[in-house]
Amino acid sequence: MTRRLRQLLLAWILLMVLLAIEFGASFIPLGRSARPLVLIPAILMVAAVGTLFMQIGREIAVVRLFAAAGLLWLSILLGLGSLDPLTRTDYHVQAANPK
Q: Which positions touch other proteins (CB under 8 A)?
A: 1, 4-5, 8-9, 11-12, 15-16, 19, 22-23, 26-30, 32-33, 35-36, 38-39, 42, 45-46, 49-50, 53-54, 56, 59-60, 62-63, 66-67, 69-71, 73-74, 76-78, 80-85, 87-90, 95, 97-99
Shortest Cβ 13–other proteins spacing (Å)? 9
Min CB(15)–other proteins separation in Å:
5
Q: How far is the CB of 58 from other proteins (least distance, A)?
A: 10
User: For residue 91, with 0-12 CB atoms within 10 Å meaning exposed, 13-18 middle and 19 or more buried, which class applies?
Assistant: exposed
Tell me if residue 39 falls in helix, strand or coil.
helix
Q: What is the DSSP letter of 49?
A: I
CB of 30 to other proteins, least distance (A): 7
Spell out the residues 6+ positions from residue 19 whose beta carbon is closer than 8 angstroms to its own.
41, 45
Q: Count, in order, helices (H) and strands (E) of the chain.
A: 3, 0
